[in-house]
Structures are given as structure tokens and as C-alpha cells.
Amino acid sequence: MTTISIHQPNYLPWFGFFAKVAASDVFVFLDDVAFSKGSYTNRVKFLQETKSRWVTIPIIHKQGLHINEILPSNTDWNFDHLNSVANWYRDSSAFSEIREEFESMLFDAAALGNLAEINKLLIIKLSNRLGFNCQFVSSSEFNVSTLGTERLIDIVKKIDLKGRYLSGQGGANYQDPYKFSEAGIELQYLDFEHPIYSQGVEDFTAGLSIMDAVFHVGWAQTKGFFKSVESKDK
């Protein structure tokens, strides 16, 4: 049975996003839905000392545009982001060894010029770096026109008629489990607890970009946080 998860392509997402990737056989970028202003699609939080700070890709936004139609409003946003992150993480234990690689990722992404493609590239690069064995596809490839739970079901069936849909815990608030059962699709909720690691301050801040962990503890330890998810949910 193919385990499939679906989510909008967010910018340098948090641990929970990558936990879904780690636990999936196929991850679907939901890129042909309307862009939501104020979402995590073009922004994410990093840590400046003890406070979380937004880092945002500036965009040209018109009402009703899909995520894969959104363009950045300037082409050098990656330099601003790298400078901010460098100031905030320069004393973090792993930042000096990660900085050049992170800069290269942002440079490659910024060259694409489309928000969806920027986010997809970064997510795929990070997933590969963390050793996840997952296939990535985009919902725009399937030409599915349904909405809500039906849309999720139809996308899953495009990949595997008897697939398993892996949802985040928040999906329980709006998904109809009966519809999944009726369609012959197994609905599973991700069981994931945010790891605690050293951020160099007394109180831990959760929900930041996964790069916060990478800058503080490095690739290997960050990868290790996902071992139980990979073995449990696949």
C-alpha cells in the first residue's frame, strides 16, 4: 500500500512538515490551490536569541492566484534572508559548516522565480539531505477539480486506487473519515512529537524552520529525529 501525504509547498518548513515527508512513499505538493495571505507559503520563523522572527519572500499578490502563479516581487530576496539568518545564527554550533550549503540552496531556489517552484526545490533538497526516500509530485499534474476531502481522495486515487492517506493531526478538524472509507482509502494520522534540542537558550521554541535545528545540531542529529517516524508510519 502506498502512503501518500499532501500539503501546500511551504517555505523552509518546520519539523511537522518534514515528518510527513519522512513517513510517506509519495508526497504531493498542493500547488494549484489559492495562495493564502499570512500562511507559511512564503514565510517561516527563525530564532533571534529568545524571540522568533519572520523571514518572508516578498511577493506580487493578486486575489485568487494559485500558489504556482505567485512570483517574488524582487529577485534578490535570498541575500536578505541569508544576511538575517547569518546574524541570528553566527554563534550556533553548526552554522559555520552549514552556511555555504544553505547559501547555495537559496541561490538555486531564487533563480527559479516562481514561489511554488522555489519552495519545492528547497523541500526536495532538504529531504534528500536528510536521507528521506520519498517521491515528489505536484497536484497540478493531475488536473483534479474537486474540493475539500473529495479533492484529497481524488489525488490519492490518481496515485494508488487503494492508497493510504497520511494526514497531519489538524486534518481531523475538517476531514470526513467516512468519505475516505467509502472510497477505499485508508486514512491515517501522523503521530509525531516535536523534538527538543539545544538552541543555546533556556526556553525551547518549537515550530521554527527545520533549518533552526540544522544550524544548532547539524544534519546528522536532525536526521536522527525522524527515525521513529519513518519506521512507525511507513
Residues 61-114 have pLDDT tens digits of 888 999 999 999 998 999 999 999 999 999 999 999 999 999 999 999 999 989
pLDDT number for residue 231: 47
pLDDT number for residue 228: 73
CA distance linking residue 138 with residue 150, whole number of Å: 17
3-state secondary structure the chain: CCEEEEECCCCCCCHHHHHHHHCCCEEEECCCCECCCCCCCCEEEEEECCEEEEEECCEECCCCCEHHHCEECCCCHHHHHHHHHHHHHCCCCCHHHHHHHHHHHHHHHHCCCCHHHHHHHHHHHHHHHCCCCCEEEEHHHCCCCCCHHHHHHHHHHHHCCCCEEEECHHHHHCCCHHHHHHCCCEEEECCCCCCCCCCCCCCCCCCCCHHHHHHHHHHHHHHHCCHHHHHHHC
116-121: average pLDDT: 98
pLDDT number for residue 232: 52
Rg from Cα positions in the chain: 18
CA distance linking residue 210 with residue 229, whole number of Å: 16
pLDDT number for residue 233: 54
For residue 62, how many other CB atoms are within 10 A of its CB?
9
For the segment 2-60, what is each residue's pLDDT rounded down to a tens digit? 999 999 999 999 999 999 999 999 999 999 999 999 999 999 999 998 999 999 999 99
The percentage of the chain sitting over the pLDDT mark of 90, rounded to a whole number, equals: 85
Nearest to 10 by CA among 127, 119, 118, 111: 119
Whole-number average pLDDT of the chain: 94
pLDDT number for residue 230: 62
pLDDT band at 176 (very low <50, low <70, confident <90, very high): confident
CA distance linking residue 100 with residue 164, whole number of Å: 38
- The neighbouring-strand residues paired with 85 are none
Residue 234 has pLDDT above 60, yes or no: no
Residue 194 has pLDDT above 80, yes or no: yes
The percentage of the chain sitting over the pLDDT mark of 70, rounded to a whole number, equals: 98
pLDDT number for residue 218: 97
pLDDT number for residue 168: 87
Residue 158 has pLDDT above 60, yes or no: yes
